[in-house]
Amino acid sequence: MSYFLPPKLPSLKGKRIDVAVCGGIAAYKTCELVRRLIQQEALVKVVMTESACRFIQPLTFQALTGQPVAISQWPSADHASSMPHIELGRWAELLLVAPCTANTLAKIAHGLAGNLLENLILARQCPVAIAPAMNVEMWQNSATQRNLAQIKADGIHILGPNYGEQACGEIGLGRQLESEELLLELAKLFTPQGWAGRHILLTAGPTLENIDPVRALTNLSSGKMGYNLALTAWLRGAEVCLVSGPTALNKLYQLQTVQVNTGKQMHEQVFGYLQSHPVALFLGVAAVADYCIKNPSAHKQKKQKNGFAQLQFELEFNPDILAQVSQFRDQKSPHLKVVGFAAETENLETYAQNKLTDKNSDLIVANLVQDAMANDHNCVKMYQRFKNSPVIAQGCKFSVAQQIFDLIETNYETSSTT
């Protein structure tokens, strides 16, 4: 499965990562991971066990990283140092073991030091993450689970495994995470977890209001801004729920997403979540249709042979989600921060300031439609209550999402929310 992923994850840029490869069939996946880390401008050095070299040639990783591959704990032509485990451990900001076999997992749990990788884990001064990969029966074995509990207690991050079909033909837990998943997990490890334990609720995308079973009123919102904001919130540690209208975007990794079509459905899901969770922040990014069809036809409305249009429908207002969330905050949840979005074609400042007041929001993020609709870049102006001058954010939509969160964290007392 492909996940929604921005072209660049800034938290990986320039990060020094040791990738240790163990002897399992999933080692081929680590080649793709290393390639993608290099694309993200991370600095990668690869360590392989002798067993790993039976699955992947070291030259493959050397070609991908431009760095010699460390295999032996003894000096060699490529690693003349008598202490490669010390040098590698002090160079890295993170050590990732992928795949981590049952054998290596057991050795890590018991602090053994029989090869370069095991020595490196004991000598390193950086965090360690493992991506387990093994047969489902091996994963479920009580000895493996005891070892897993021990390394968790030692502060090692466990990434995966996935459920699915394995090389042996069995189906169950034990598949190594895919490269996109590991890329996102690593980006999260390098991102400050300022929103850890707190709930963020977002809406994104257009809504779709049925005229009849085959026709609908909608708009050109791509959902990209909302999805980038949801990903940013997840990377910063939040418990995220995204209520999304219909989009062509890939699914977000590890993130609760509720798919809806109509504005009324979006309203129902938003308030269902607000009433059942202690939401700290609401971001109303979706382009909710102002109107819905009051009398949708149960059957397709046919074009008449004489050419005269017979398509008839009556409009009524959709619920105003943003205004009602602000009202919910005032009545029941004073710590909730409410952020609205405004897409305009003219008079941006006037309309944004009016919306800030009319909707009683804490912040309005406004942009001109021609600057953002369906694009990967955006330029927004952020209007805050009781402040006259807007704050401008621009760049790719993932960068803009980060700038929006930076402003929220700087200007609102998010640490006081629960």
Catalytic residue positions, numbered? 168
Q: Are the CB atoms for 99 and 26 separated by under 8 Å?
A: yes
User: What distance separates the 2 farthest-apart alpha carbons in the chain?
Assistant: 90
Q: Is the peptide bond prior to 161 cis by the omega test (within 30 degrees of 0)?
A: yes
Burial of 55 (0-12, 13-18, 19+ CB in 10 A): middle
Rounded CA Rg of the chain:
26
User: To which residue do tokens 């939040």 refer?
Assistant: 238
Q: Are the CB atoms for 297 and 303 separated by under 8 Å?
A: no
Residue 79, both tokens: 């690693």
Helix (H) or strand (E) holding 209: strand 209-212
CA angle 62, 68, 72 (to 5 degrees): 115
Which residues are registered as beta bridge partners of 256?
A: 241
Q: Is the peptide bond prior to 6 cis by the omega test (within 30 degrees of 0)?
A: no
Residue 200, φ and ψ in degrees, nearest 5: -125, 135
CA separation for the pair 384, 356 (Å, rounded) = 8
Enumerate long-range contacts of 68-73, CB under 8 Å, 24 or more apart: 70/45, 70/46, 70/116, 71/47, 71/116, 72/116, 73/115, 73/116, 73/119
Which amino acid type is present at position 22?
Answer: C
CA separation for the pair 364, 385 (Å, rounded) = 9
CA separation for the pair 172, 141 (Å, rounded) = 13
CA neighbor of 274 nearest in space, from 355, 211, 202 = 202
